[in-house]
Amino acid sequence: MPSDTHRADERRFLDERGSSATLAPNGLNPATIMEKAVRERIVDSYFWKEQCFGVNEADIVDRVAAHVSFVGGTYGVGQRPAPFLCLAFKLLQLAPGDDVLAAYLRHGGDRFKYLRALACFYVRLTRRPDAVHRLLEPFLEDRRKLRRKGRAGTSLTFVDQFVDDLLTKDRVCATSLWQMPKREVLEDLELLEPRTSPLGDIEDLLEEDEDDDVDMNGGGENGGSGGDSDEEGLIEEDRSERRRSYSRDRSRSREGRVVDRSYESGSDGR
């Protein structure tokens, strides 16, 4: 059968005797990267039969924009495969090149944020460790929101958190990720350059925070004592003014009483 002919059930890709597709860049068979139970659920799902038949790399963009509204593996009581997982399995079958993946990753609008997440997931499944870090680490600064749906229900996540899970966790979206060497090992092998955080050197930041705390504490003690003395002086002045006004009021009231008494005595004598 010609290679450009599609079967309705796509069974040739899932043949137990092996796959006609070439191995992924990391040396894994793309047909067996996902577990057998997950693959069977994907192939038997309605979304796979309706939306993933005869799809090429360009159609993936339309399918993601129209049908993918959350990231996830299997969800619900029946553990149905999510459209995100079905399209990831379709990418394993299509095996797009690096130029196509770069085009997927460049799409930056909110409409295509799930396309970027899908491309990151596929990169983690098929690329070599150094390529995975080089391609995914720039998106650790992507703060856009994503919906994640799983067995526990729907939750909120972010693109940078999803990418961090791909780099650090062993299982994401109902898929066991192949174990990569740590970044420190790749740096020792000179496959990667040391990563610089966008915030700068952590040690320098900690030293600056300590200096700021010392300055604030020292300035607060001096400034606080000066402030207290000024306030005490103002309070003393207010008290003295109140005492003076009170004494003046008392003297006036006494003078008024003396005048009244003298007036009353004069009137009585008359």
pLDDT digits (tens, 9 = 90+) for 74-130: 888 888 899 999 999 999 989 999 999 999 998 867 778 999 999 999 999 999 999
**Amino acid identity for residue 137 in this structure:** E
121 or 24: whose pLDDT is higher?
121
What is the reported pLDDT for 188? 86
**Amino acid identity for residue 200 in this structure:** G
pLDDT band at 183 (very low <50, low <70, confident <90, very high): confident
pLDDT at 164 exceeding the cut of 90: yes
Comparing CA positions, the residue from 47, 43, 27, 46 lying closest to residue 35 is 43
Please report, for residues 28, 167, 269, the alpha-carbon distance to residue 172 in angstroms, rounded to integers and kept in the order given: 18, 10, 112
pLDDT above 90 covers what percent of the chain? 38
CB 124 within 8 A of CB 175: no
CB 173 within 8 A of CB 84: yes
What is the reported pLDDT for 226? 46
pLDDT band at 10 (very low <50, low <70, confident <90, very high): low
Which parts of 71-201 fold into alpha helices (H)?
Answer: 83-94, 98-106, 113-126, 129-136, 159-168, 183-188
Which parts of 54-128 fold into alpha helices (H)?
Answer: 57-67, 83-94, 98-106, 113-126
Token pair 């990720």 is found at: 177
Average per-residue pLDDT in the chain? 78
Alpha carbons 61 and 107: distance in angstroms, whole number = 10
CA–CA–CA angle 27, 148, 141 (5° rounding): 70
pLDDT digits (tens, 9 = 90+) for 54-67: 889 999 999 999 99
pLDDT band at 223 (very low <50, low <70, confident <90, very high): very low
What is the reported pLDDT for 24? 87
Alpha carbons 170 and 125: distance in angstroms, whole number = 11
